[in-house]
């Protein structure tokens, strides 16, 4: 488990098990140090160069892994009272060299873009089921987030 520059954001290298015909890619297990609870698991495909940003949740924790393609995930801490308030950090996720789990706690803004030549697939294992009343969005050029795609 690796700490990042933003409080509560963690990464964990994931196992890739070589097998005949293609590898097995681990993501999250109940005995993982990043596991809290299971709410739902979903995939989001992103076309090369497309940006999906910005979003944050008030209660839900995100667990991202990129099994196909490569993505740049950007997070921004706007939590009042956070020791890393105002910090922004980029993560490159995907195979072959950056297959890892990224945990994003509640109230941290995130967005992502595919940086591979083909569509990329991000998997999110959230700790709560989707509830549209507990998330909010901001435009990708939101002035309160000091990051430009």
DSSP labels, 93-128: EETTTB-EEEEE-TTEEEEEEE-SSS-EEEEEEESS
Alpha-carbon distances, residue 15 vs 10, 32, 50, 113, 147 (angstroms): 16, 12, 28, 24, 31
CA distance 102 to 122: 11
User: Which residues lie across from 108 on neighbouring strands?
Assistant: 77
pLDDT at 3 over 80: no
Q: Is the dihedral of CA 101, 47, 136, 129 positive or negative?
A: negative
Other CB atoms within 10 A of residue 49 CB: 11
pTM above 0.85?
yes
Looking at residues 123-145, what average pLDDT do you find? 96
pLDDT of residue 73: 98
Closest CA to 35 of 47, 44, 26: 26
| Cβ–Cβ under 8 Å, residues 78 and 110 | no
pLDDT tens digits for 13-28?
A: 999 999 999 999 999 9
User: What ranges do the domains of the chain cover?
Assistant: 2-137
**CATH number for the segment(s) 2-137:** 2.60.120.10
CA distance 84 to 81: 8
pLDDT tens digits for 62-82?
A: 999 999 999 999 999 999 999
Looking at residues 94-101, what average pLDDT do you find? 95
């Amino acid at each position: 488990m690796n700490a990042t520059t933003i409080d509560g954001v963690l990464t964990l290298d994931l196992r890739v098990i070589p097998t005949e015909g293609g590898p097995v890619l681990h993501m999250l297990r109940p005995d993982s140090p990043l596991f809290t609870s299971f709410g739902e698991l979903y995939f989001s495909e992103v076309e090369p160069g497309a940006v999906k940003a910005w979003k944050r949740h008030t209660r839900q924790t995100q667990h991202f892994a990129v099994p196909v393609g490569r993505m740049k995930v950007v997070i921004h801490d706007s939590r009042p009272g956070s020791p890393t308030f105002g910090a922004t950090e980029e993560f490159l996720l995907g195979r072959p060299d950056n297959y890892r789990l990224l945990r994003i706690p509640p109230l941290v803004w995130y967005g992502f873009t595919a940086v591979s030549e083909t569509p990329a697939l991000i998997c999110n294992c959230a700790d709560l089921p989707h509830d549209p009343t507990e998330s909010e969005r901001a435009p990708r050029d939101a002035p309160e987030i000091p990051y430009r795609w």
